[in-house]
Copies of this chain bind each other. A is one copy, B any other.
Amino acid sequence: MLHLVNKSPFERNTLEACLKRAPKGSSILLYEDAVYAALQGTTLSAAMTQAAKTHDIYVLTPDLTARGLDGASILEGVRPVDYDRFVDLTADKGTVQSWL
């Protein structure tokens, strides 16, 4: 299963809601404002580093670029993907659930 999260974890509870239910080993793609969750040096970085050990966490590169963030500012263990890989993930991982 592929979980999609699109809101900033500083503003909304959707990423937390997803992490509470998504079984270990499932995949989570952060896109739109959720890409801020993948940043180094924030109050959430430690929790996200942990989450990346139990889940496959991806982050959408064009949404990072749009916001002035680059690969170097991203937490280790979070995998940058472009839109083509986003499409591949939806094909490869089974049912897609959006956490809205």
Contacts and interface: CB of A to CB of B under 8 A. Distances in A.
Contacts of A13: 10-12
Interface residues of A, number: 4
Interface string A44-68: 0000000000000000000000000
Interface in A1-49: 10-13
A9 B11 CA distance: 10
Interface of A: 10-13
Contacts of A10: 13
Nearest to A14: B11
Nearest to A11: B13
A12 B9 CA distance: 9
Contacts of A11: 12-13
A13 B12 CA distance: 6
Top 5 closest A-B pairs, CB basis?
A: A11-B13, A12-B12, A11-B12, A10-B13, A12-B13
